[in-house]
Amino acid sequence: MVKDPVIKVRNLTKVYQLGEIDVHALRGVDLDIYPGEFVAIMGPSGSGKSTLMNMIGCLDSPTGGEYYLDGMLVSNLVDDELAPVRNKKIGFVFQKYNLLPRADAIENVELPLRYSDDTSNMDERARETLMSVGLGDRMKHKPNELSGGQQQRVAIARALVNQPAIILADEPTGNLDSTSGKEIMELLLKLNREKHTTIVIVTHDPGIAAQAQRTISLFDGRVAGDGVA
């Protein structure tokens, strides 16, 4: 039985206004991503990949078209309506980690739970998720007491703790040395392989993209290629 897409995009457009100039960032994107896929999005600067990431992550609304996230039409929602969708459906992993500097690993991972409908057993859930990313012995450490790779593992745990439909990773190895970057990719691949977590990774690195099951290439706001590894 074929599953429905967890991400379904139809004729998605985004136009920004810079003074009197219209900037067409997305020009009619069609895209399906299915549960359990590991997909890389690539493209040169100005191709629209950051804009598409913002649309997929419900961080911005499109100018036109439709976006269904886990079966829910979200392209017509306003900011206040998008916030709970983001919290429940999407886990974010950023290049710069975005951890709270004065909070330890547990407190950072608990953060999405504090804004969710279910705040039960937050400490236990955070601890279990940190253990799943190999940080069982670093739970009480603050970001400045962790290496870059360990901080990114905390960020991945934070993304996973609500059990979202999708993990959206924006250049997750960009600030890491090659060894730490390889470890983070191995962790993401393991999550995808063993837990069937749907992962979309935005990257400019062909070596990173080559590890995904599919690579979607953008150029001038359009899908220029969609290849299966």
Q: Say yes or no to pLDDT of 116 above 90.
A: no
214 part of a folded domain? yes
Predicted confidence (pLDDT) per residue in 72-84, tens digit: 999 999 888 898 8
Q: Say yes or no to pLDDT of 127 above 80.
A: yes
Return the pLDDT at 229: 63
Predicted confidence (pLDDT) per residue in 130-173, tens digit: 999 999 999 999 999 999 999 999 999 999 999 898 999 998 98
Instruction: Label residues 164-187 b or e (16+ Cβ within 10 Å = b).
Output: bbbbbbbbbbebbeeebbbbbbeb
Q: How confident is the model at residue 219 (pLDDT cuts 50, 70, 90)?
A: very high
102: domain CATH number? 3.40.50.300
Whole-number mean pLDDT of the chain?
A: 92
pTM exceeds 0.75 for this model: yes
Q: SS in 3 state form for the chain?
A: CCCCCCEEEEEEEEEEEECCEEEEEEEEEEEEECCCCEEEEECCCCCCHHHHHHHHCCCCCCCEEEEEECCEECCCCCHHHHHHHHHHHEEEECCCCCCCCCCCHHHHHHHHHHCCCCCCCHHHHHHHHHHHCCCCCCCCCCHHHCCHHHHHHHHHHHHHCCCCCEEEEECCCCCCCHHHHHHHHHHHHHHHHHHCCCEEEECCCHHHHCCCCEEEEEECCEEEEEEEC
Q: Say yes or no to pLDDT of 175 above 80.
A: yes
Average of pLDDT values for 7-15? Answer: 97
201 part of a folded domain? yes
Q: How confident is the model at residue 12 (pLDDT cuts 50, 70, 90)?
A: very high
Counting residues of the chain whose pLDDT is more than 90, the rounded percentage is 70
81 part of a folded domain? yes
Average of pLDDT values for 220-224? Answer: 95
Rounded distance between C-alpha atoms, residue 29 and residue 184, angstroms: 29
Return the pLDDT at 16: 93
48 part of a folded domain? yes
Average of pLDDT values for 85-96? Answer: 89
Expressed as residue numbers, the domain containing 27 is: 7-228
Q: How far is CA 42 from CA 46, 57, 127, in A?
A: 11, 16, 34
Q: Say yes or no to pLDDT of 178 above 70.
A: yes
126 part of a folded domain? yes
Return the pLDDT at 23: 92
Counting residues of the chain whose pLDDT is more than 70, the rounded percentage is 99
Average of pLDDT values for 43-53? Answer: 91
Q: Say yes or no to pLDDT of 118 above 80.
A: no
In the chain, how many domains are there?
1
Return the pLDDT at 2: 61
1 part of a folded domain? no
Predicted confidence (pLDDT) per residue in 195-206, tens digit: 899 999 999 889
Burial class (CB in 10 A: 0-12, 13-18, 19+), 65: middle
205 part of a folded domain? yes
Return the pLDDT at 40: 96
2 part of a folded domain? no
